[in-house]
Structure 1
Amino acid sequence: MAVHTPICDFGWSAPDFALPATDGRTLTLADIRGERGTLIVFICNHCPYVKAVIDRLVRDAHALMEHGVGVAAICSNDPVQYPDDSFDNMVRFAAEHGFRFPYLHDADQQVARAYDAVCTPDFFGFDAELGLQYRGRLDSSGKQPAAPDVRRELFEAMTGVAETGQGPREQTPSMGCSIKWKAA
């Protein structure tokens, strides 16, 4: 079932974390933080919405890194119920798609809860001071193939944040599959 993210709570502070990365390191928010902004993206390996946008997401993440924006992706899904989202499969997924940014495993789901992440993909774009400036979508394609001229909403928003410290006042929520929470 598709769910939408809430509207952007401008200025909300990014919660800290320490999570294992697919490259064997444990990274904190300070390790990810970019000089001109930070993008945290909740994704997973099996979601059709993520699969539909992953190539454009990787392209835009790499381009944003050139603008001084730190980027990390986090998988918080329960790998027991969804084995495609296991840590070993995260390692493969990152390699297959050429991630040059960290892919982190939120095994206890505490980071997803702290961020109030609701779906995959869920984008959190922060300014240089780690205040939230973007909680929108990548682009208008959803889980359909993107038109060649699709507007790069996330990229435009985050380059604006890198240049001015401000995100766009008008944002369209991201849509995706719900986070796969562990049974209580």
Structure 2
Amino acid sequence: MAATPPVCEFGWPAVDARLPGVDGLTHSIFDQAGPKGLVVAFICNHCPYVKAVIARIVRDAIGLRAHGVGFVAINTNDADTYPQDSFENMKRFASQNALPFPYLYDEDQSIAKAYGAVCTPDFFGFSKDMTLQYRGRLDASRKEIGPTDLRRDLYEAMVMVALFGKGPSEQQPSIGCSIKWKMSAQE
């Protein structure tokens, strides 16, 4: 089922946590920040929206590094109900897509809840002081890859954040598969 997150709540503070990564290490979310900001992306392995744009996510994460913006991805889906999103499958997904950023597992879903994540993909762009400046889409792609000349919403917004510390006032929300919550996480 498709879901759309709410608009950006400018100035909202990022939440840190230490989560296991597919590389076998435990990573702090904040340690992934660059000197000019951080993108926290909630993704998963099986979502057709993520699969359609994963190469573009990789491209933009690499491009943002040159602007001093770090990148981290988090899978929070219930792997008991959706085994395609298991930690072992995360490792395969990261390898197959040559993810150049940490891919972390939020098994108890507490970080997704703290961020208010709604769908995969769901992007949160923070300034260097770790306040929210972007909550929008990667680009206008949906379940299929859009044309190569689509406006790069996330990339352009985060370059703006890197340069000026503020995100654009007009933002288009992301759209994707709803987060697969555990029954206890919904209560």
TM-score bracket, shorter-length normalisation: over 0.9
Tell me the percent identity: 58
Note the alpha carbon deviations across 1:12-52, whole angstroms, 9 max, x for none.
Answer: 00011110011111111231121100000000000010001
- Matched AA of 1:144: E
- CA RMSD in angstroms comes to 0.7
Q: TM-score, normalised by structure 2?
A: 0.97
Q: How many residues align?
A: 184
Q: Secondary structure at the match of 2:44?
A: coil
Residue 29 (structure 1) aligned with residue 29 (structure 2)? yes
Match of 1:123 in 2: 123
Residue 92 (structure 1) aligned with residue 85 (structure 2)? no
Q: Write the mapping of 1:7-86 to structure 2, written as runs, cut at 5 A.
A: 7-86=7-86
Match of 2:179 in 1: 179
Residue 145 of structure 1 and its aligned partner are, at CA, apart by 2.0
Return the alpha-carbon distance in structure 1 between the equivalents of residues 86 and 163 of structure 2.
37
On the 8 A contact 2:29/2:72 being kept in 1, the answer is no
Note the alpha carbon deviations across 1:54-84, whole angstroms, 9 max, x for none.
Answer: 1111110111112111100000000010011
Note the alpha carbon deviations across 1:87-143, whole angstroms, 9 max, x for none.
Answer: 011011011111110000000000000000000000000000000000000001112
Moved over 3 A (4+): none
Return the alpha-carbon distance in structure 2 between the equivalents of residues 139 and 30 of structure 1.
25
Return the alpha-carbon distance in structure 1 between the equivalents of residues 85 and 66 of structure 2.
29
Residue 177 of structure 1 and its aligned partner are, at CA, apart by 0.5
Q: TM-score, normalised by structure 1?
A: 0.98
Moved more, 87-96 or 143-152: 143-152
Residue segments in structure 2 that go unaligned for 5+ positions in a row = none
Return the alpha-carbon distance in structure 1 between the equivalents of residues 145 and 31 of structure 2.
33
- Matched AA of 2:110: Q
Q: Secondary structure at the match of 2:90?
A: helix
Return the alpha-carbon distance in structure 1 between the equivalents of residues 160 and 104 of structure 2.
26
Residue segments in structure 1 that go unaligned for 5+ positions in a row = none
Q: Secondary structure at the match of 2:183?
A: coil
Return the alpha-carbon distance in structure 1 between the equivalents of residues 80 and 59 of structure 2.
30
- Matched AA of 2:20: P
Return the alpha-carbon distance in structure 2 between the equivalents of residues 27 and 141 of structure 1.
30
